[in-house]
Amino acid sequence: MKKFQNFKGIVVPLDRSNVDTDAIIPKQFLKSVKRTGFGPNLFDEWRYLDKGEPGISIKERPLNNNFVLNQERYQGASILLTKKNFGCGSSREHAPWAILDYGIKSIIASSFADIFYNNCFKNGILPIVLEQREIENLFEKVKKNDGFNIHIDLVRQSIKLSSGYLISFEVDKYKKSCLINGLDEISQTLEKKDKIFSFEKKYKNVNPWLFEEIQI
């Protein structure tokens, strides 16, 4: 997992509440567990005018030009601004995979579904919870300014606008440390692999009978 400390990016607004994981990545695209290749099908039913299926080239599909991800002003966006209860529905981890594969590094909302929120941290995405008034303020600024961008500093837990205005946000200390150091749960375990191997060796010496082959 890549380290996350701070970055500057264009904001794309998704003015919807209760966006569920089936909207983020529809069920027909869940056949792969490679974590990559899902970006083209992020918000598939909203981005395209036809029904998407695995294996169909997106170059052959008609775009919904009214959807924000297809609008020229938001191309290259890496920060998703949305509303309450984002990521509700099923617990599919493919949802953050699709978001990250598209290029979104951070999601700002007034609230998240718990499982999705935790899955974001496990996949290198920073979900930020802000008060509703700050969310509405950001939506207004994005609407009025093409290429509206912000600077997110995870170390200082702040969002800085081009005007210099600062917004503070809260994040769990443990989750923050994992993102800053680029560690998921597997990486954290592997950091202690020498101690794990040492324990296994001692345990095998003390209890050799547990490791004997059973003769049938």
- Interhelix angle 114-122/94-102, rounded to 10 degrees, is 50
The confidence score (pLDDT) of residue 64 equals 97
Task: Report residue 82's pLDDT band, with 50, 70 and 90 as the boundaries.
Answer: very high
- Domain architecture of the chain: domains with CATH: 6-211 (3.20.19.10)
Beta strands at 79-81 and 6-13: parallel, antiparallel or unpaired: parallel
Tell me, yes or no, if the pTM score tops 0.85.
yes
Which ranges of 13-59 would DSSP assign to H, the alpha helix?
21-24, 44-47
Tokens of 124: 């290198």
Task: Report residue 213's pLDDT band, with 50, 70 and 90 as the boundaries.
Answer: confident
Average pLDDT over residues 126-150: 96
The confidence score (pLDDT) of residue 216 equals 62
The total of other beta-carbon atoms located within 10 Å of residue 31's CB is: 8
The confidence score (pLDDT) of residue 201 equals 81
Model confidence pLDDT, tens digit, residues 20-54: 999 999 999 998 888 899 999 999 999 999 999 98
Model confidence pLDDT, tens digit, residues 140-197: 999 999 999 999 999 999 999 989 999 999 999 999 999 999 877 777 677 677 788 8
Does residue 99 carry a pLDDT above 80?
yes
What is 175-200 written as a DSSP string?
HHHHHHHT--HHHHHHTTHHHHHHHH
Cα–Cα nearest to 96, from 35, 53, 37, 40: 35
